[in-house]
Amino acid sequence: MPALTSATPNSGPAAGGTTVTLTGTGLAATTAVRFGATPATSFTVVSDTHVTAVAPAGTGTVQITVTTPGGTSNDLSYTYSGAPNLSGISPNQGSTSAGNTVTLTGTNLTGATSVLFGATPATSFTVVSPTQITAVAPAATAGPVAITVTSPGGTSAPTTYTRVAPPGI
């Protein structure tokens, strides 16, 4: 009978398409991989201890199982994440120098892997909660810039942050 010990990664976007590596034993004769009740989009038996499977579209947390002629494995959790959604930024403007801390609010912010000011990564960022991130803006020229957040669920639509040149003396 097959047995699973890990699924990497164990989360992905609701649209599916994530390649998940399943590790365990007795996997060489795998005939099916399921994410909940839905079959994997595709799967490849790599060895008796590894199978790669492409996650189908889904929502919430489901259980991954592997079926072989010897039976069905134990299950491992896989969580579908929605794309981050930004609804606010405070303050919505700052100086052109680095070091301005901004608070981003929205939904599905847990697991954020990057915060970009245009194409430039934030100097640093901290996920405070599923609805809040604090980010330190990098230095840049004056004018508007789009902020986006990327997580396992996808990339947010941009929110505008405006850089203001310091007044001359």
26-44 pLDDT, tens digit per residue, is 999 999 999 999 999 999 9
User: Same domain for 29 and 94?
Assistant: no
Domain of 138, in residue numbers: 85-164
The single-letter code of the amino acid at 167 is: P
**Is residue 18 domain-shared with residue 59, that is, in the same domain?**
yes
d(CA 48, CA 46): 7
Q: Are residues 67 and 127 in the same domain?
A: no
- Whether residue 42 lies inside any domain: the answer is yes
In-domain check, residue 133: yes
Query: What per-residue confidence (pLDDT) applies to 168?
Result: 62
**What is the distance between the alpha carbons of residues 98 and 101, in angstroms, rounded to a whole number?**
9
pLDDT at 169 over 70: no
